[in-house]
Amino acid sequence: MVINHDFYMSLALKEAWTKQGLTYPNPAVGALICNKEGKILAIEATQRAGQAHAELQACISAFVQMGDTTIASLHDANAQHAYLLNNHHHKFEGCSLYVTLEPCHHQGRTPACSMLIEKLGFSKLICGTLDPNQQATGGINALRESGIDIETGILQEECETLLTPFRKWQNNTPFIFFKLALFANGVYDGGLITSKESRTYVHALRNNIDLLVIGGETVRVDRPTLDSRLVGGKAPDILIFSHEKEFDQTIPLFAVPGRKVFIEDNLDRIKSYRFVMIEGTQKMLEATQTLVDWYCIFYAPTIQTGKTIQFNKDLKRIQLLENKHDIIAWFQKAQ
């Protein structure tokens, strides 16, 4: 059987994008395991910081497919890692592992993925791109020296794009994305636009960001809370971008404990944070267009009359996802 590396890597990439923004400060990574006949055993992505990396998560799912369900009851990455090492019984021999990023080669909050891959006896590792984190890199060289067949650079450009936020965090510079919710024809007003599933994802993003930026007019009109209650998460700090400094203090966002709220007529505050989300409409788009790295746009599958968004920059779509109700598109500025 001819194995199409691009096909398998594209599936790993797609899975990684479902966790984009949710793994901070770690990168979003996807992994896929197939047997020697090319049958897919698992497609997984890195979980939250401190939980299983994509490679470990894929090994767990594959192991369950192979008939061992005990590991599914373990929820600590270190325990999962140890269980696989002690109970794999050579079931991964002949298998190939596709991963969007070089397996880590150091002990952090979780064990080194490179060691796990070697001990489980994978026959082949196919990697998208090398790890820019000098503390974690080295997995490819170590695995090659152990005798595993290695191929690198598969869909490298796409895997590099996936890493854009992580590279900025590694350089201690903010990664900034703009979140929009639109009807299918670009209309942004008219009350709730997207499904609860999409709103839950936005709350999960808020749970990971450091700072949320919003315009003063939106705060006054919508009277938002801007927390992460749908996922039981934390509330990010808020920067209200406004020339008018007086706000009704009964607006819910001011009553959220543990957060800082800044009201400023400039965006310099963003430089003090690493992971920043901006919410707003046309005026905020125009005010932040030189700062934004990516745009995350949620499209509802309906058309409605009303005000529409006009982008002042050409954008290139870098990923398209969908849930049961909406489409989620990530864009970056066109080169």
Q: Is the separation of the CB atoms in 113 and 103 below 8 Å?
A: yes
Find the helix or strand (DSSP H, E) in which 277 lies: strand 275-279
Q: Answer whether residue 318 shows pLDDT above 70.
A: yes
Structure tokens given for 252 = 């819910």
Q: Which residues, other chains included, contact 191 with Cβ-Cβ below 8 Å and sequence gap of 6+?
A: none
The mean pLDDT value for 294-301 works out to 96
Q: Answer whether residue 35 shows pLDDT above 70.
A: yes
First to last CA, the chain: 39
Name which of 78-92, 93-107, 125-139, 217-231 the model is least confident about: 125-139
Q: How high does pLDDT run on average in the chain?
A: 93
Q: Which residues, other chains included, contact 221 with Cβ-Cβ below 8 Å and sequence gap of 6+?
A: none
The mean pLDDT value for 73-90 works out to 92
Q: Is the separation of the CB atoms in 132 and 167 below 8 Å?
A: yes
In angstroms, how far apart are the furthest CA atoms of the chain? Answer: 68
Name which of 60-69, 189-198, 203-212, 229-238 the model is least confident about: 189-198
Q: What is the pLDDT of residue 203?
A: 97
Distance CA 45, CA 59 (A): 11
Residues in the chain: 335
CATH topology for 5-169 is Cytidine Deaminase; domain 2 (3.40.140)
Q: Which of 15, 37, 44, 55 is catalytic?
A: 55
Q: Answer whether residue 30 shows pLDDT above 80.
A: yes
The one-letter amino acid code at 305 reads T
The mean pLDDT value for 8-23 works out to 97
Peptide bond into 224 cis (omega under 30): no
The one-letter amino acid code at 104 reads C
Structure tokens given for 109 = 């909050």
- The CATH classification number of 174-333 equals 3.40.430.10
Q: Answer whether residue 135 shows pLDDT above 90.
A: no
Q: Answer whether residue 253 shows pLDDT above 80.
A: yes
Q: What percent of the chain has pLDDT over 70?
A: 98
Q: What is the pLDDT of residue 269?
A: 98
55 is an active site residue: yes
How far from chain centre, in Å, is Cα 285?
22
Name the strands in the sheet holding 294-299, side by side, starting at the edge strand that comes first in the sequence. 261-264, 237-241, 211-215, 275-279, 175-182, 294-299, 327-333, 315-322
The mean pLDDT value for 174-180 works out to 97
**Domain extent listing, the chain:** 5-169, 174-333
Q: Answer whether residue 2 shows pLDDT above 60.
A: no
Q: What is the pLDDT of residue 131?
A: 83
**Look-up: residue for tokens 């007529």?**
265
